[in-house]
Structure 1
Amino acid sequence: MTATDLPPRLTHLTFHGPLSEERAERLVGELAATRPSTVLDIGCGWGEFLLRVLDAAPRATGVGLDVQEDDLARGRRIAGERGLGERVAFVAESALGTRRGPADVVLCLGSSQALCDPEGPHDVAAALAELRRLVTPGGRVLIGEGFWQRVPAPEELARMWPGAHEGDHLLLGALVDEAVEAGFRPVRIETATGQEWEDFESAYRSDVELWLAAHPDHPAAGETRARVDRQRSTWLNGYRDILGMAYLTLVPVG
């Protein structure tokens, strides 16, 4: 069995998160209007948002950090196709304690765990402190961070991802308070819509669902089917309408 026998990976996703084209276009425009020279993307994946900022800010260069080489290769290919290959580097390395900053724009979209101790619990305060360190004076941080729309009940947590507990996320107000405590002022606070979540969750599994429909008797179908069915259940029967995604545009104080 070779990699070509297995389902393709995330080809139906533009962004690796619940982010619409409309919201992305507006956020990119707002960040590019600050005329950045440098852009740093933490946990960039294939860097679609990073590349759009660079395209909108022609004087800027960018660095994307991630540990998933397949995604980085996809980003390099897309950058080359768009004529941005000379202005961006996709680097396979951990962002924890990175010396790649400071940058005028720092992106951290659904990847704050990359700035936390992998041996400890997710610590959004620590991640925000790192983002404060990595942004230049007068720069911008755009963080996409999960939050509880309401505190989930124990039985709801039990239907989410393995080991899910109330401390995995904060309520939105507490999340913004943490950003202020870390030395930022929030110039924009917005949250993903239900439509953005549904588009993301559906596209996240589209490749696998289509492959399973076409290859029901493949040797890997049973394990793959069980995995994707579990993933779908954690959303539909677990965190749907409970877990939100906040997009916070932050300016460092001082």
Structure 2
Amino acid sequence: MDIPRIFTITESAHRIHNPFTADNYATLGAALRLEPDTRVLDLGSGSGEMLCTWARDHAITGTGIDMSPLFTAQAKRRAEQLGVADRVAFIHGDAAGYVAADPVGVAACVGATWIGGGVAGTIALLAKSLRPGGIILVGEPYWLRVPPDQQVAEGCGAGSIADFLTLPDLIASFADLGYDVVEMVLANQDGWDRYEAAKWLTMRRWLDANPDDEFAPEVRALLASEPRRYAAYTREYLGWGVFALMAR
């Protein structure tokens, strides 16, 4: 079980696999007013930065589930590095359909809502693990500006303009599902630059080390096209944020 290889190449040096920075996660943890020993479930936990830093800074406990064996191993090393391996656990597995054995205070899916077939399905899945009065966290893209045509939408990584909503419409969609939006932290351009541009050096270093790999032509083509695509499309049109929700 693994994610597509291109991601384990381009994001192998990332600690955070979305446009958030360490400061964004610190802001979010403080905004949620996390109490010590709050149980947190993170579906699609990547390299574990959110759970590990919150365990260090707020004394939460947590479990992360991710399909990537590489990222799961990185998360375990990060927990050891920060001295919180006794407070957080990382499991290599399929987060789709995962429900915690015991209810948690925070149930999160930060940037992987495909596991539930979209935002609504992922919220429904997270709710199955949540204790009464708990908080759901959803990380999701939104349009900063609605693309003028299909080409621009595809340049942002969307299948169509309808794949994402504007920020006001995304917030309204949570209300339509029966949730109050009680907090949000939005990525900024620096976060986007760190997430996207950091891939380029990783790809170049990988190509230098693996010139004869059968995957090298695909990585080379991506490195040649990604900087311009990102500058022309994603950076101009796409936002991203984490939204804290409580059931009404």
> When the two structures are superposed, what TM-score results if normalisation uses the length of structure 1?
0.82
Q: Which residue of 2 aligns with 1:41?
A: 42
Q: Which residue of 1 aligns with 2:110?
A: 109
Q: Higher mean Cα deviation, 138-147 or 25-34?
A: 25-34
SS of the equivalent of 1:85 reads: coil
Deviations 1:137-174 (A, max 9, x none): 2222222111112221223124343x721122111122
Report if the CA contact (8 A) 1:132-1:182 is conserved: no
Q: Which residue of 2 aligns with 1:50?
A: 51
Per-residue deviation, 1:210? 3.5
Q: Which residue of 2 aligns with 1:242?
A: 237
Note if 1:157 corresponds to 2:123: no
Q: Which residue of 1 aligns with 2:80?
A: 80
Q: Equivalents in 1 of 2:124, 2:246: separation in Å?
A: 13
Report if the CA contact (8 A) 1:29-1:56 is conserved: no
Per-residue deviation, 1:78? 1.5
The residue type equivalent to 1:57 in the other structure is H
SS of the equivalent of 2:241 reads: strand
Q: Which residue of 1 aligns with 2:5?
A: none
Give the 3 Å change call, closer, same or farther, for CA 242–178 of structure 1 in structure 2. Answer: same
Question: Which of the residues 171, 179, 184 maps onto 1:176?
Answer: 171
Deviations 1:209-249 (A, max 9, x none): 2444x45x922343321133344444233332211102212
The residue type equivalent to 1:219 in the other structure is D
Q: Equivalents in 1 of 2:23, 2:83: separation in Å?
A: 23
Q: Equivalents in 1 of 2:196, 2:21: separation in Å?
A: 12
Q: Equivalents in 2 of 1:239, 1:8: separation in Å?
A: 20
Deviations 1:151-205 (A, max 9, x none): 21223124343x7211221111221122222232112234211222112111133
The residue type equivalent to 1:189 in the other structure is M
SS of the equivalent of 2:236 reads: coil
Q: Which residue of 1 aligns with 2:68?
A: 68
SS of the equivalent of 1:98 reads: coil
Deviations 1:75-96 (A, max 9, x none): 1112122222222221122222
The residue type equivalent to 2:115 in the other structure is A
Q: Equivalents in 1 of 2:174, 2:139: separation in Å?
A: 12
The residue type equivalent to 2:166 in the other structure is L
The residue type equivalent to 1:155 in the other structure is Q
- State, as a whole percentage, how many aligned pairs show the same letter: 27
> When the two structures are superposed, what TM-score results if normalisation uses the length of structure 2?
0.84
Structure 2 runs not aligned, ≥5 long: 1-7
Give the 3 Å change call, closer, same or farther, for CA 251–37 of structure 1 in structure 2. Answer: same
Report if the CA contact (8 A) 2:113-2:122 is conserved: yes
SS of the equivalent of 1:86 reads: coil
Q: Equivalents in 2 of 1:238, 1:9: separation in Å?
A: 19
Give the 3 Å change call, closer, same or farther, for CA 57–173 of structure 1 in structure 2. Answer: same
Q: Which residue of 1 aligns with 2:23?
A: 22
Report if the CA contact (8 A) 1:194-1:241 is conserved: no
Q: Which residue of 2 aligns with 1:144?
A: 139
Give the 3 Å change call, closer, same or farther, for CA 51–134 of structure 1 in structure 2. Answer: same
SS of the equivalent of 1:229 reads: helix
Q: How many residues align?
A: 237
Structure 1 runs not aligned, ≥5 long: 1-6, 117-122
